[in-house]
Amino acid sequence: MTVGKRKINVSPLLIIIGVILALYLASMIALFIWSLLTSLKDEYADIRMFGNTYGLPREWVFSNYKEVFLNLTMAGAPGQKLYFENILLNSLLYAVGCAFFKTLVPCIAAYACARFDTKLGKLVHSIVLITMIVPIVGSLPSELKVAYAIGFHNKIWGLWIMSANMQGLYFFVMYSAFKAMPMGYSEAAKIDGANQLQIMVRIALPLVKNLFFTIMLIMFVEYWNNYQVPMVYLPYYPTLGYTLFYKGPGSNEMNNLPQVISLAVIVATPVLILFLIFQEKLMGNLTMGGLKG
């Protein structure tokens, strides 16, 4: 294959990978289109009477979304009923707060490990690496008991604190970015009388702000879709992800399939919009800031 003046060698392996990725992309697009069409069908006229599961709607029923917005409820604290706006607020507080602290703490820890050559920094680096390699299972009961004991259970801010840890891949992404940062910035700031905190806040963090917000966006998507943690730790503050799991197919809570799919489309739409807006930053910032740094 020739592109312009450059000759690109296309191997059979590359063609096979391309075909597999194209098929995977097509399956995801087809699934989303099916979900969108199903959400606009009538439960009785389309599905139960005619078995129209995969075809176009016989009648476009946009009121399914209205029913979800107006009538979706979940149980909160004893005697409390939560509506769609309450569940949406819980989702935003949970996803945004946890994403911010899950990004901030690894960022600060990575800065300290990368910029200061100390035994403690090397120990922290090793601990994070070991926790990624060694599977830790069976910790939920003890973690839940601790959350009860210190008052974090059923508290959204409690999950913010619990998410403020430095474990995970993005510690190493941040570490790579800070490690590649020239020392001249810090030395120039020291000459001007800046202390270490000022150097970190005013110089280092602004230089990686695009990477910071990219990682935070990825973490937001992860927490937004998560239903297991809110189910265990926030039973009085259900999120949209947990609501979809609780009322989805297989449950007895919501028997209207088009409305269930409508809820699924509503949950997926913010993630899809964020990806379409920030797709270039999601790919570019992580590559330049972490892997090639």
How far is C-alpha 220 from the chain's CA centre?
A: 4
What pLDDT does 292 receive? 40
- Strand partners for 10: none
pLDDT at 42: 87
Q: Are 174 and 208 in contact (CB under 8 A)?
A: yes
Residue that is written with structure tokens 């569940």 in the block: 87
Q: Which residue has the tokens 């910071």?
A: 212
Q: Which of 114-123, 125-134, 187-196, 203-212 has the lowest mean pLDDT?
A: 187-196
Average pLDDT over residues 284-292: 46
Tokens representing residue 144 in the block: 């839940």
pLDDT for residue 5 is more than 80: no
pLDDT of residue 256: 81
The dihedrals phi and psi of 75, each to the nearest 5 degrees, come to -75, 135
Q: For the segment 175-190, what is each residue's pLDDT rounded down to a tens digit?
A: 999 988 888 878 888 8
Q: What's the pLDDT at 187?
A: 83
Q: Give the pLDDT confidence of 119-164 residue by residue, as tens digits.
A: 998 999 999 999 888 877 778 888 899 999 999 999 999 999 999 9
Whether 220 has a pLDDT exceeding 90, the answer reads yes
Q: Taking residues 80-94, what's their average pLDDT?
A: 94
Question: pLDDT: is 286 or 32 the higher one?
Answer: 32
Q: Please report the pLDDT score of residue 290 as a whole number.
A: 41
Q: Give the Cα-Cα-Cα angle 43, 47, 53 (nearest 5 degrees).
A: 125
Calculate the alpha carbon distances from 68 to 1, 98, 217, 252, 258 in Å.
51, 26, 27, 16, 10
- The pLDDT value recorded for residue 161 is 95
DSSP assigned state of 2: E
pTM metric for this prediction: 0.83
Rounded Cα distance, 46 and 227, in Å: 30
